Amino acid sequence: MLELQDLCFQVSDDADKQKEIIRDVNLTFQDHAFIAITGPNGGGKSTLAKLIMGIEQPTSGRIVYNGTDITKMNITERAKLGISFAFQQPVRFKGIKVRDLIRLAAGTDIPFSSICDYLSRVGLCARDYVNRDVDASLSGGELKRIEIATIIARGTPLSVFDEPEAGIDLWSFSNLIQVFEKMHRESDRSLIIISHQERILNIADEIVVLSGGNVQARGRRKDILPELLEGTQSCKFYAAAQP
């Protein structure tokens, strides 16, 4: 279980004034859940994901994972506890082959057949990719799917995805929807996905609406999604509340 308790995050603006990006966020994510976090651009969604992973440190508040206070832990320490993170823009690794990246993610010298399986799950032909470098020669969609393959290989209890639809083509996106559905259906993992896309919201168990750095709504998909899709309610939820 992941708990965000009175979480706040501030940055200094050009005038050296403090600006609240996340304010007083209280959320509990139960095990084996699929949560989609949505809301307007600039509402704090990606920042919240980075706070969960330890890429950013909160100004105040606590983050508790399975009873352990991880607020001061760094990325490596959180990863060792079982949290994975997929960036909005996947990292490129010059000089590292796809096969080596997946083995690093798995934490063991897995056989070639397992690497092929992980790649095939995200719609990539292993023969065409295992010996490719994880560099600029790969498209955004290819990198995104390879990154998700590494998360599947890690097999951690909690995976956080920051806008997985960003920069990929329609075919790749359709394939990713199936990947997320399968991850949720066939494992005990918890998924937290930051997304604007209706198709992702439509497969989540719960939806959290974040605007102005604060939770505006949370509930089951069947209760929240229809309101988000209605014009008047969309205006209500997506109006960017200024701190």
pLDDT digits (tens, 9 = 90+) for 169-186: 776 778 888 889 888 887
pTM beyond cutoff 0.85: yes
CA angle 197–225–65, rounded 5-degree value:
80
> Are 190 and 159 a contacting pair, CB within 8 Å?
yes
Q: Are 158 and 1 in contact, with CB atoms under 8 Å apart?
A: no
- H helix intervals, 198-240: 198-201, 221-229, 231-238
What are 125-184's pLDDT values in tens digits? 888 999 999 988 888 888 888 999 999 999 999 999 999 887 777 767 788 888 898 888
Ranked by mean pLDDT, the top range of 65-74, 86-95, 163-172 is 65-74
Contacts of 174 (CB under 8 A, 6+ apart): none
**Sequence-distant (≥ 6) Cβ neighbours of residue 189 within 8 angstroms:** 32, 155, 156, 157, 158, 159, 183
